[in-house]
């Protein structure tokens, strides 16, 4: 498989490592110095693009790939206000687009645990729920898309929770999310239910970006020959 790698930061380099280990070829590597190359490509240039960049660049990167007839796997966060427009364009081009805010298998197991725990906790309103997320200092979006997804799953399971708020305090009608940025952390997400008598916590810690890279490469392999809009729920049917 010929991969067009867009973004050559820490995750991009991890994608390169995983892709080569799995026998794939990097047709092109696009970074800030070679961005102009993207507009010259066509459907014969690569079998799939894997895009991990910055929020301000993601829309144009994905759009240009779809315009060229190249399927896209993207894990860039912070740009989702434009996601509907990209998906509509993908459909109009009869292309293929796979998006996930988190490609880690462990993270998606954690999502399932979070959903199950929220359903179990629903009858016990004395427990206040709070999400803490910690990421590397270069991650710009706060809170993370993963933390928002965790909060939305809790809101779906517990009718008394109406919305999530960015706060250090958990409230009866909301899910609080607090964010920290530090230099040495890849990613930590913690969901805590706290009552006067006890506290219950589940946590996922990412130790290495290879976890995200492997999931992205697996998604790229799976996307071959397909048409449409896809998420991790299509790749991993149990991830719902």
Which residues are annotated as catalytic? 135, 139
Helices (H), the chain: 10-21, 55-68, 83-92, 105-121, 145-157, 210-223, 232-235
Which residues have a Cβ under 8 Å from the Cβ of 63 and sit 6 or more positions away?
86, 89
- SS3 (DSSP) at 96: strand
Rounded Cα gap, residues 100 and 75, in angstroms: 5
Rounded Cα gap, residues 22 and 37, in angstroms: 25
**One-letter-per-residue 3-state SS of 136-186:** ECCCCCCCCHHHHHHHHHHHHHCCCCCEEEECCCCCCCEEEEEEEEECCCC
């Amino acid at each position: 498989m010929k991969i067009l790698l867009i973004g050559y930061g820490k995750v991009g380099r991890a994608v390169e490592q995983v892709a080569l280990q799995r026998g794939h070829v990097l047709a092109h590597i696009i970074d800030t110095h070679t961005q102009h190359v993207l507009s010259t490509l066509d459907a014969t240039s690569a079998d799939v693009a894997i895009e991990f960049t910055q929020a301000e660049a993601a829309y144009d990167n994905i759009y240009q790939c779809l315009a060229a007839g190249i399927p896209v796997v993207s894990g860039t966060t912070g740009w989702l206000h434009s996601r509907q427009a990209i998906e509509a364009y993908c459909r109009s081009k009869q292309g293929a687009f796979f998006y996930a805010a988190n490609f880690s298998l462990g993270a998606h197991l954690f999502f399932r645990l979070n959903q199950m725990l929220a359903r179990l906790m629903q009858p016990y309103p004395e427990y206040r729920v709070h999400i803490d997320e910690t990421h590397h200092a270069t991650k710009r979006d706060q809170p993370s898309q993963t933390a928002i997804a965790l909060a939305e799953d809790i809101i779906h399971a517990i009718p008394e929770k109406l919305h999530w708020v960015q706060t250090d305090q958990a409230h009866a009608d909301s899910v609080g999310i607090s964010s920290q940025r530090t230099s040495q952390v890849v990613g930590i997400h913690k969901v805590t239910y706290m009552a006067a008598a006890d506290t219950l916590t589940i946590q996922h810690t990412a130790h290495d970006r290879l976890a995200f890279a492997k999931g992205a490469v697996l998604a790229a392999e799976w996307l071959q020959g397909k048409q449409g809009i896809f998420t991790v729920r299509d790749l991993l049917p149990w991830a719902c």
